Structure 1
Amino acid sequence: MQLLKKILDIYISGSIHVALAVYALVRMTFYFFHISCNTSMAGFAFFGTIVGYNFVKYDALARVKKLKMSSQLKIIVLLSVFAFFATAYCFFQLEVKTKCIAVGFLLLTMLYTLPFFPKIGNARNWAGIKIYIVAFCWAGITLFLPIINADLPLSGDVWLKFFQRFLLVIILILIFEIIDLKNDEVSLQTVPQRLGVQKTKILNLILLVPFYCLEFFRSDFQIQQLWINLILVAVLALFTLFSSPKRSDYYTSFWVESVPVFWWILVLVFS
């Protein structure tokens, strides 16, 4: 049992689980826009997420020398090195214009992590900004990159899906922020710190309405997708209602981050 817990911790701490969520959203983009599965595009998103998230999580600690090289961290470092080379390989298989957009997201990630502006720190510590940067990156990488790489136009349906993905990530992050309330510094000014837990939950439940209703405006929306999204909205509502700073970190780092994968599975099973 102890071994399984260690494996799970490496799986989560090494950002494999969050990378699987990103991969699921990329595959959903392939499905919704009738794009042939592009392993290079999907692989770039998956391995790039591992590299990006591990860089964000461990870079600051490494620079202030607060990291102890435990066996778990050594495995995560090796995983990140492998993911970096896999990301580079997939990157060079992409179309030129996709590479340019991907570099833009890389620069945004670096802005989020590195203190380019000493007086105000990195974007991760800009009060109220973090949530939008993360949502934009998730929605852009999982939707715009596959669309651009397939040489498809940025149609109205693409923008609708972008806003829907953007809202999904905002909703997930707000649940994270409720759980992390006990650990977050006051200077971060997260939504639960400013509004309180109950008002944040109400806000999240309100955001579920436009998230669901955007599906009606798609030019080729299908009834079955409305039912699929209704199931997803119900799950997100339950995660929101039962979120609390007293919950275990696994509540978000495993269960809540599984939502995109769950959504993808629903699409595969019922579509």
Structure 2
Amino acid sequence: MKGFQTLLDFYIRSSFHVAFCFVALFLAFHFRNFIKLDDAMLLLIFCGVVIGYNIIKYAALLLERKYFRFKTAIITITATASGIAAYLIISDSLWTAVMVFIASAFSVFYAFPLIRHHNLRQVPIIKLVLVAISWVIIICFLPLKSVYVNFEYSYDSLASPITDSVKWLYGLDIVQLFLLIIALCIPFEIRDLQYDSPQLKTLPQLIGIHRTKLLGVSLCIIYLVMEIIQFGFATNIWAVSTYIVVPIIAVSIWFSDVFKSDYYTSFFVEAIPVLWLGLLLLLN
């Protein structure tokens, strides 16, 4: 049992879990939109998430020469992922390189000072916003002009060539995804309340746990309302999976201060996108 827990801790701390879940969210979001999707795109996204999260979590500790668990293995994994990602970016389009650079910049600016003694961590609720923006860039914009991907932009009867209606719907999808990512991050904000410095000014620190949970649930409701306004009470596999998964996200937010184990957020809440993708594949 102890060996299994050590393996699970390594899987989570090395950012493998969040990377797998991010890829699942990417696939779920674009479930209808791909004509071609090379494994290279998924590998690039996976490596990028591992690199980004490990930089945010461990870069400062490395600079201060502090110990953290699985240090050698995590450094090796991050370096390997960096090499793979660099090769894939060089082999792709300039657009991909620009999108990766922008998303990476948010991570670097959050982790390191922009000027002496000042970084983006000191801006209220910036962690939530930066995570959401970075995720949206990678999920929504990175694949648009990648050599690894061809899009169809399929919205029932609306498909390519790209019409104004399709652009409008994709824009609404981006807004919905941004709101959903904020909601998905709220259990982590509540969990980290006991660790975060008051200087971070996270959402629970500013408005309290109860109001933070209300905000998260409200974002889930807004997401569903936007979905219904766009497509009505649809019964296709995307709609059915959405009506199942988004309420699960709302419930996970509401109970985020009840379950005290780190595994509740770091493993189970993080894995909700995997459940979403699994439902889509099962219903399909």
Aligned counterpart, 2:140: 143
Alignment match, 2:37: 37
| Aligned-partner residue type, residue 140 of structure 2 | L
Seen in structure 2, the aligned counterparts of structure 1 residues 220 and 103 have a Cα distance that, compared at 3 Å, is farther
Amino acid at match of 1:230: Y
Matches for 1:86-125 after TM superposition, within 5 Å = 86-119=84-117, 121-125=118-122
Q: For residues 63-122 of structure 1, what are the alpha-carbon distances to aligned partners after superposition, in whole Å with 9 as ceiling and x for unaligned?
A: 122225x5x221111111211111112212322222222222222221121112224x22
Change (3 A) 1:125 1:116: same
Q: Is residue 167 of structure 2 the alignment partner of residue 155 of structure 1? A: yes
Contact 1:41 1:94 in 2 (8 A): no
1:223-269 C-alpha deviation (Å, 9 max, x unpaired) = 23222111112211221121117611111111111011111111111
Aligned to 1:25: 25
Taking the TM superposition and a 5 Å limit, the aligned residue runs for 1:176-215 are: 176-215=188-227
Question: Which range is displaced more, 146-155 or 190-199?
Answer: 146-155
Name the SS for the 1:243 alignment partner.
coil
Query: Does residue 1:130 correspond to 2:127, yes or no?
Result: yes
Moved over 4 A (4+): 150-154, 217-222
Q: Distance in 2 between matches of 1:261 and 1:218?
A: 25
Matched, 1:262 2:267: no
Larger mean CA deviation between 175-184 and 12-21 belongs to 175-184
For residues 61 and 19 of structure 2, the distance between their equivalents in structure 1, rounded to whole angstroms, comes to 21
Moved more, 261-270 or 26-35: 26-35
Query: In 2, Cα distance between the equivalents of 1:142 and 1:63?
Result: 31
Label 1:89 to 1:30 Cα distance change in 2 as closer, same or farther (>3 A).
Answer: farther
Give the fraction of aligned pairs with identical amino acids, expressed as a percent.
31
CA distance in structure 1 between the partners assigned to 2:9 and 2:94 by the alignment: 37
Whether contact under 8 Å (1:164, 1:214) holds in the other structure is: yes
Shift of 1:138: 0.7
Cα distance in structure 2, aligned partners of 1:136 and 1:168: 12
* Cα pair 1:30 1:146 within 8 Å, conserved: no
Aligned to 2:154: none
CA shift for structure 1 position 167: 1.1
1:127 partner SS: coil
Q: Give secondary structure in 2 for the equivalent of 1:35.
A: strand
8 Å Cα contact 2:28-2:273 kept in structure 1: no
Distance 1:47 1:207, change over 3 A: same
**In structure 2, how many angstroms separate the alpha carbons of the residues matched to 1:31 and 1:221?**
19
Aligned mates of 2:150, 2:247 — CA distance in 1: 35
Q: How many Å apart are 1:3 and its aligned residue? A: 0.9
Post-superposition shift, 1:134? Answer: 0.7
Per-residue deviation, 1:166: 0.9
Aligned pair partner of 1:227 in 240, 245, 254: 240
> Residue 167 in 1 paired to residue 179 in 2?
yes
Matched pairs, number:
268
| Distance in 2 of aligned mates of 1:178 and 1:128 | 12
For structure 1, the residue ranges without an aligned partner over 5 or more in a row are none
Deviates more, 1:22-31 or 1:178-187: 22-31
Please say if residues 136 and 166 of structure 1, whose CA atoms lie closer than 8 Å, have aligned partners that are also in contact: yes
CA distance in 1 between counterparts of 2:113 and 2:126 reads 15
In structure 1, distance between residues paired with 2:102 and 2:88? 16
Q: Take 2:92 and 2:233, find their aligned partners in 1: how far apart are those partners?
A: 29
| Structure 1 CA distance for aligned equivalents of residues 9 and 100 of structure 2 | 29
Matched residue of 2:270: which SS? helix
What TM-score, normalized by structure 2, do the two folds share? 0.87
For 2:58 and 2:37, the matched residues in 1 are separated by 32
Q: Cα RMSD (Å) of the superposition?
A: 2.1
Tell me how far 1:25 sits from its aligned partner.
2.2
